[in-house]
Chains A and B, each alone.
Chain A
């Protein structure tokens, strides 16, 4: 699947290849993302985390071109500008247990180079959006798993990112929190490009406008949620239309490869 490069795309990746040692994780991947919420689906080991790490400028691509926010990541000065407009929540994110939630987010506001005068407001705003404002002065180590994840999201959105990368953000959230989280996602997707990797297909169905599906390091599907649902109309197994679409596309891609 080839995607043309347009000037308005927030993310545009062509011919991306990434490997750890001799194991190739992503190969010949092309991807283009515009503002809005994008779901990233795929089985375990498909390369979702690796793709997000490349887009977060943490992992270095072996080959291929990666343009984020209309700038090339190989240019050092541009990289710094990109990172100022980038939010990232890793799957396995660390934190400083002695910091309070506010201090943690404040510290990341500083690391993300939010102008000093705007930091207090930005921190309050981020904490408010994830609903942690009334726990702002609690130590991180006293938070429950779900609250920690929300603190993680708060640090990712504190700089008002144009590109927000969330790796498994709903893990550890209870059903009610997930519902609220999806609402936040939609809100963030209005003017930013949000890429969410997840295993929970229903998150994608309700929160994402577009879906990309990775399998074995290749992009096997990209389109709207409706298109994925449509792919599962005749075939595919699962309990919901989108799950059926998911399995049908995967099966199709694997059959094609053989």
Chain B
């Protein structure tokens, strides 16, 4: 014990005492240069629990957050028309984007849980007293929290845009979001299980891709009640809502599923069995229930809001922010239709249509689909071409085309009627292109029609509409020849 380099042994040392003479240290000179390090008391730390804080800062969570923000912003940016201006549409878009986001969370969870193997920590961890499920849960929680924060940041940005213009405060939209977040947490737990059990290096990306595919499958199996077990839904549309007990059941399902997955990852068989029993108990009433029929119109959301001046244009309250923009496009068309026998006199959002009705034109109303018309900022109409197409279909003699390919002159005269109806419609991108021979004929016919006195134009259009409804091919061709 008395070697030549025997130090002055001080017994259990007090590290807070400044450099004692004779005490051996590894870096004596550097330490004496930085005395503040020695006297620093136990630093005052944020009250966040130690290991969770470390995992959030240094684990996969630190990468998960920016990735989820980026992915969230990206999915929001590619289809703003699906969520703009409406709270429930934003919430259901969040569930739609679960396809991507859950896949990412599975990959993140697997990456985090594979760390002990990658870093060869199993040996050291095996000698520690803390039950193995605790570090596992902390790791899962860190990734889940970071992912959720990223998701909420991205969708929070979208919520600011929605809040500026939204015309209807839906009641249950936050249920959709909350259950989606629980689904995200279950996805992370799945990743943790995969990372713990699959020793492959590519376990994380492969698990992510398999989740991606797996979540897409219910979209292909139309109308099964079991689809409601997926965190991803592609049929939650604005203005409709799910009964609250289904949200509750889904929440219970995801919590139980998370329990099963984490218990399996921590190899707690009893806990896994209990959670599995709970999961099955919750899943049965969801799966055996009706499929898409679960959706009910939200009476407040679909209540019509109408223009006060000019021909009537109505939109559902949830689409109220679109009313001015839609009316500006549609009212000139309705003006042209005014007085034409059998023509619709008003236009309305098909959300305000009674359930089950699908006719594009009924009861003197032309029904417009406004689900994909919002822009991110809520200003203007995203796809005015689609509205234009709705009016084109008004003049389209569909019954003739159902019988077979009609005479080419029918195409021409139909086009002329449609263009006459949409004279005031703002020009679209396709205009100004060089014309084909057939198109030149059409243009000439249209110019002739517009050259007629106002009353004769209306009369011609009225006769066209009547012939189109009767599917009278000869009469339609005659109307074209009239203009030559």
Contacts and interface: CB of A to CB of B under 8 A. Distances in A.
Interface in B116-145: 116, 119-121, 123-131, 135
Interface in B1-52: 1, 3, 5-7, 9-13, 15-16, 24-27, 30-31, 34, 37-38, 40, 42-43, 45, 50-51
A186 B120 contact: no
B58 interface: yes
B54 interface: yes
B130 A96 contact: no
A183 B120 contact: no
Interface in A123-169: 124-125, 128-134, 136, 150, 155
Contacts of B123: 53, 58, 90, 92-94
A43 to B, nearest CB: 22
A211 to B, nearest CB: 13
Interface string B132-176: 000100000000000000000000000000000000000000000
B115 interface: yes
A133 B38 contact: yes
Interface residues of A, number: 62
A134 B124 contact: no
A199 B31 CA distance: 32
A112 B128 contact: yes
Contacts of A130: 26
A233 interface: no
B26 A131 contact: yes
B58 A110 contact: no
B189 to A, nearest CB: 21
A120 interface: yes
Contacts of A58: 123, 126-127
B7 A177 contact: no
B119 A96 contact: yes
A118 to B, nearest CB: 9
A136 B40 CA distance: 12
A113 B130 contact: yes
Given A113-B129, A129-B15, A121 B124 contact: no
B25 A56 contact: no
Highest count of chain A CB atoms <10 Å: which of B7, B123, B126: B123
Contacts of B135: 111
Contact of B121 (A82, A88, A94, A131): A94
Contacts of B26: 130-132, 150, 177, 180
Given A119-B50, A131-B26, A92 B5 contact: no
Interface in B94-121: 115-116, 119-121
Given A96-B119, A209-B1, A84 B9 contact: no
B5 A183 contact: yes
A187 B129 CA distance: 25
B129 A120 contact: no
A77 B372 CA distance: 62
A191 interface: yes
Highest count of chain B CB atoms <10 Å: which of A80, A134, A177: A134
Contacts of A182: 3, 5
Contacts of A124: 15-16, 40, 42
Contacts of B13: 125, 128-129, 187
A125 B42 CA distance: 10
B134 to A, nearest CB: 8
A189 B130 CA distance: 25
Given A124-B15, A150-B26, A190-B11, A94 B129 contact: no
A119 B54 CA distance: 14
Nearest to A130: B26
A26 to B, nearest CB: 18
A110 to B, nearest CB: 5
Interface residues of B, number: 47
Interface string A39-70: 00000000000000100111000000000000
A179 interface: yes
Contact of B54 (A89, A103, A191, A205): A103
B462 to A, nearest CB: 75
A179 B5 contact: yes
Interface in A104-120: 106-113, 116, 119-120
Contact of B51 (A110, A134, A136, A184): A110
Interface in B290-326: none
A92 B124 CA distance: 9
B479 to A, nearest CB: 76
Nearest to B38: A133
B54 A206 contact: no
Nearest to A173: B26
Given A111-B128, A120-B45, A124-B15, A94 B120 contact: yes
B12 A191 contact: yes
A251 interface: no
A61 B319 CA distance: 71
B130 A120 contact: no
B54 A99 contact: yes
Contacts of A177: 26
Interface string A67-99: 000000000000111111010111011111111
Contacts of A183: 5-7, 9, 24
Nearest to B2: A206
Nearest to B123: A90
B37 A133 contact: yes
Contacts of A116: 50
Given A90-B124, A94-B121, A180-B25, A125 B58 contact: no
B24 A93 contact: no
Contact of A106 (B50, B120, B121, B130): B50
Contact of B34 (A84, A95, A134): A134
Interface of A: 53, 56-58, 79-84, 86, 88-90, 92-100, 103, 106-113, 116, 119-121, 124-125, 128-134, 136, 150, 155, 177, 179-180, 182-184, 186-187, 190-191, 205-207, 209
Closest 5 CB pairs of A and B: A131-B26, A83-B129, A120-B42, A94-B120, A128-B15
Given A94-B120, A183-B5, A190-B9, 6 more contacts: A94-B116, A97-B119, A111-B130, A112-B130, A133-B38, A190-B12
19 contacts: A53-B123, A58-B123, A86-B127, A89-B124, A92-B120, A93-B120, A98-B58, A103-B58, A111-B129, A119-B50, A128-B15, A129-B15, A131-B27, A133-B31, A134-B30, A150-B26, A186-B7, A187-B9, A187-B11
